[in-house]
Amino acid sequence: MFNLFACDLYSIAVTVLLVLVLLYSVFEVHYFARTFWCTITCKLFKKYVHILDTTSFSSACLITDVDFLLFHMNNSRYLREVDFARTEFYTRTGLWKAIREKGGLPVQGGSSIRYRKFIRTFSLYSISSRIVYWDHNSIYMEHRFVGRGDNFVNAIVHCRQRVINCNVDELMGELLAKNAKENPGNQEAPRLKPECPLEVHHWIQANIVSSANLRNGN
């Protein structure tokens, strides 16, 4: 009977291992697991914030993040980490819920990243995320990779979140009004749509020129 029990345990272990190998070969399991974990922890342990507030997502450069030189973060990992930081922002501000209630869906329409200083292996950092501008169909966000020890901005990312099937001006207006209604005793001046930062303005113009060139076959 003991041998039968041991055989069953062995079969279960092998089956679980094969399932894990299959999942990792077909899906980016770690990516989806981190996204799920980030969403759950935000909902359970972190407070909701104003739509124009800045959120901070903590992370570290592990050996799975480095490039072939082995002592700093791979360039492609920065945008991957931004996905997790943006998940936190969307959850804590209620932006994701508001978009889905209107039948909309945010998709990445473009990104621009400037590397200033590499992030060393095993070093800690945070990603600050905020909305810097929006128009009728897109939300523009800024993400800063800030070193935990020196507060140096190692990299800065600008992203355009294109929102499908949703008027962004109306959406953001409703969120601003909702935040004001939920804090009636707040003596601060009402928070309004920010002016488009100069670097974002030029980036938008560059994207317009690029789109025109592609449409013309250039």
Tens of pLDDT along 85-101?
999 999 999 999 999 99
Gyration radius (Cα) of the chain, Å = 22
pTM for the structure as a whole: 0.87
Q: What is the pLDDT of residue 149?
A: 87
Nearest to 178 by CA among 93, 55, 102, 105: 93
Q: 3-class SS at 102?
A: coil
Q: What is the pLDDT of residue 161?
A: 97
Q: What is the pLDDT of residue 42?
A: 95
Residues of the chain with pLDDT below 50 are: none
Q: What is the pLDDT of residue 101?
A: 96
- Cα(186)–Cα(159) distance, rounded to whole angstroms? 31
Q: What is the pLDDT of residue 184?
A: 59
Residue keyed to tokens 């889905």: 100
Task: Answer yes or no: are the C-beta atoms of 106 and 163 closer than 8 Å.
Answer: yes
Please, what is the end-to-end C-alpha distance for the chain in angstroms?
A: 74
Task: Answer yes or no: are the C-beta atoms of 153 and 120 closer than 8 Å.
Answer: no
- Cα(161)–Cα(136) distance, rounded to whole angstroms? 12
CATH 3.10.310.30 assigned to 46-201: no
